[in-house]
């Protein structure tokens, strides 16, 4: 049985209230107007009057709990529809992405080859509902991420409560309404990157989550049998990072010092000035034996800065511009969800010049080297923790606390979130470990 979007499940209003408080005030106002135009409200306010009320609350910059309380106690006191609850979760996913964790699975065919699946969303959701409804009541809400090339499904299963099941087994009729008989399970998310052989999903491992993934695999196999194979064991805390690592991104296999190839910034454009080509103007380098390398001169500082930036970011400019642009778009979505142009877009945004495109918080390396003229082997284990490990190492090199000329590629972030073993200079990915972002 399918639960429609107009179904009002029984639940704790305090839990929904806490979720609403996590959304910015402009987003709450946007949702109220959207819901009012779709379902109306239980209050005596007309939609036109409601719009002026919401605008007045935003101009006064009232606290979020004022509007959140009105949503639950005045506008929809009987409870929120499934559609409304699903939209709250989806807006949280966009505006508060750090509260969600993700893992990914690769799609392979019978020959163990990567299989790119071109999704027909409506037919896929219909087939997925039909398969899940054989076991549980379900509701599926889909949306496209506003900035990432992702189609995201929010899948929620409902089961009958133990009390209702006991009465049913004893042939005792229950007069309780359906919403009182059901127990809702935590929403499960499945994201489909465009033109990718991977899917991104919630890291839950209970029986309900396994059933959903099995149903997803079954529906994807309607044309050609495919298998879903888990890529990482540890969850990643950024959907944007998952899009870079598992989506159709040029940065997937070009991180750290190799990112210039993803940016196509390693060579002057054919339409650029030929006089700026390195073969014409030459290149100034730092020579440790050069007596003119005075650390206090601006030229030496600039060259040293560019050298570390090229080693860790692959370009002289780094990724600060990309980060600032992404944060400006996030600010625009928060403050003006209804408009394409925002006055907040030019707001000053602070991003460290050492910030990494993929900020890794946890990684481990095992270094193995043979001792010269001996059969002994030296094994050293490195464990790094931090908000941005490779960004921190970059800063230490820039401050000359680490010799940049001796930093290998695996310490400059070229392997992304992957942990692994370096045996005689060769990196091998460790499948039992992963990065926590």
The pairing of beta strand 420-423 with beta strand 362-370: parallel
Q: What pLDDT is stored for residue 340 in this prediction?
A: 42
According to the model, what pLDDT value does residue 30 have?
A: 93
Q: What is the pLDDT of residues 41-60, one digit of tens each?
A: 887 777 778 888 999 998 99
pLDDT value for 248? 72
The label of the residue with tokens 């929120």 reads 80
d(CA 260, CA 255): 8
Contact 102, 34 (CB under 8 A): no
**What pLDDT does 371 receive?**
81
SS3 annotation, the chain:
CECCCCCCCCCCHHHHHHHHHCCCHHHHHHHHHHHHHHHCCCCCCCHHHHHHHHHHHHHHCCCHHHHHHHHHHHHCCCCCCHHHHHHHHHHHHHHCHHHCCEEEEEEECCCCCECCCCCCHHHHHHHHHHHHCCCCEEEEEEEECCCCCEEEEEEEEEEECHHHHHHHHCCCCCCCCHHHHEEECCCEEEEEECCCCEEEECCCCCHHHHHHHHHHHHHHCCCCCCEEEECCCCCECCHHHHHHHHCCCCCCCCCHHHHHHHHCCCCCCCCCCHHHCHHHHCCCCCCCCCCCCCCCCHHHHHHHHHHHHHHHHCCCCCCHHHHHHHHHHHHHHHHCCCCCCCCCCCCCCCCCCCCCCCCCCEEEEEEEEECCCCCCEEEEEEEEECCCHHHHHHHHHHCCCCCHHHCCHHHCCCCCCCCEEEECCEEEECCCCCCCC
**pLDDT score for 26:** 92
For residue 285, is pLDDT > 90?
no
The alpha carbon dihedral of 266, 267, 270, 276 has a sign of positive
pLDDT over 70 at 271, yes or no:
no
**For residue range 178-228, what is the model confidence (pLDDT) as tens digits?**
666 788 889 999 999 988 899 999 999 899 999 999 999 999 998 889 999
- pLDDT beyond 60 at 40: yes
Interior angle at CA 419, CA 414 and CA 422, nearest 5:
75
The 10s digit of each residue's pLDDT in 386-409 is: 888 998 999 999 888 998 888 998
Mean pLDDT throughout 307-324?
74
Q: Is the pLDDT of residue 35 over 80?
A: yes
- Sheet containing strand 362-370, edge to edge, reads 377-385, 362-370, 420-423, 426-429
CB neighbours of 386 closer than 8 A, spacing ≥ 6? Answer: 361, 392
Q: Is the pLDDT of residue 420 over 80?
A: yes
Tokens of 309: 């930036």
Give φ, ψ of 342 to 5 degrees: -125, 145
C-alpha torsion sign, points 131, 135, 139, 143:
negative
Region 279-287 average pLDDT: 56
- Entry field: residues in the chain: 437
Burial of 156 (0-12, 13-18, 19+ CB in 10 A): buried
Per-residue pLDDT at 333 exceeds 70: no
Distance CA 82, CA 148 (A): 25
- % of the chain surpassing 90 pLDDT: 35
Q: Give the pLDDT confidence of 58-95 residue by residue, as tens digits.
A: 899 899 999 999 999 999 999 999 999 999 999 999 98
Nearest 5°: the CA angle 103, 222, 150 is 35
Q: What is the pLDDT of residue 299?
A: 76
d(CA 103, CA 116): 18
* pLDDT score at 291: 46
Distance, in Å, from the CA atom of 255 to the CA atom of 313, rounded to the nearest integer, reads 8
CATH 3.10.20.720 applies to domain 362-429: yes
Exposed/middle/buried for residue 208 (C-beta within 10 Å: 0-12, 13-18, 19+): middle
Tokens representing residue 26 in the block: 């402009």
């Amino acid at each position: 049985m399918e639960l429609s979007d107009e179904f009002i499940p029984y639940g704790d209003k305090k839990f929904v209230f806490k979720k609403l408080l996590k959304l910015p005030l402009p987003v709450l106002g946007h949702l109220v107007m959207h819901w009012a135009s779709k379902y109306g409200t239980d209050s005596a306010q007309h939609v036109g009057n409601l719009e002026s009320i919401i605008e007045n609350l935003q101009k006064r910059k009232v606290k979020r709990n004022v509007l959140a309380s009105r949503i639950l106690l005045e506008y929809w006191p009987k409870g929120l529809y499934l559609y409304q609850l699903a939209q709250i979760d989806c807006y949280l996913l966009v505006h508060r992405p750090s509260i969600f964790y993700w893992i990914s699975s690769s799609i392979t065919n019978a020959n163990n080859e990567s299989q790119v699946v071109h999704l027909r969303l409506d037919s896929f959701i219909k087939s997925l509902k039909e398969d899940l409804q054989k076991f549980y009541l379900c509701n599926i809400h889909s949306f496209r991420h506003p900035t990432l090339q992702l189609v995201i499904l929010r899948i929620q299963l409902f089961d009958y409560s133990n009390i209702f099941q006991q009465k049913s087994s004893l042939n005792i009729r229950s007069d309780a309404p359906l919403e009182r008989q059901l127990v809702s399970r935590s929403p499960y998310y499945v994201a489909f990157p465009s033109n990718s052989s991977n899917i991104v999903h919630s890291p839950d491992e209970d029986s309900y989550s396994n059933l959903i993934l099995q149903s997803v695999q079954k529906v994807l196999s309607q044309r050609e049998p495919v298998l879903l194979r888990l890529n990482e064991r540890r969850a990643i805390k950024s959907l944007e990072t998952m899009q870079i690592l598992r989506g159709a991104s040029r940065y997937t296999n070009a991180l750290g010092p190799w990112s210039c190839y993803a940016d196509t910034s390693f060579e002057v454009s054919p339409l650029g000035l030929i006089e700026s080509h390195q073969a014409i103007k030459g290149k100034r380098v730092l020579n440790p034996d050069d007596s003119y390398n005075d650390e206090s001169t601006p030229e030496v500082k600039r060259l040293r800065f560019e050298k570390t930036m090229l080693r860790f970011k692959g370009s002289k400019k780094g990724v600060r511009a990309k980060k600032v642009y992404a944060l400006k778009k996030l600010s625009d979505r928060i403050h003006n969800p209804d408009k394409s142009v925002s006055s907040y877009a030019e707001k000053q945004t602070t991003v460290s010049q050492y910030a990494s495109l993929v900020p890794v918080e946890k990684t481990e390396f095992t270094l193995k080297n043979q001792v010269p003229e001996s059969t002994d082997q030296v094994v050293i284990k490195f464990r790094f923790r931090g908000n941005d490990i490779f960004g921190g190492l970059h800063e230490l090199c820039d401050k000359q606390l680490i010799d940049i000329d001796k930093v290998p590629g695996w310490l400059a972030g070229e392997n992304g979130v992957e942990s692994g073993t370096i045996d005689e200079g060769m990196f091998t990915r460790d499948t039992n470990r992963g990065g926590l972002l």
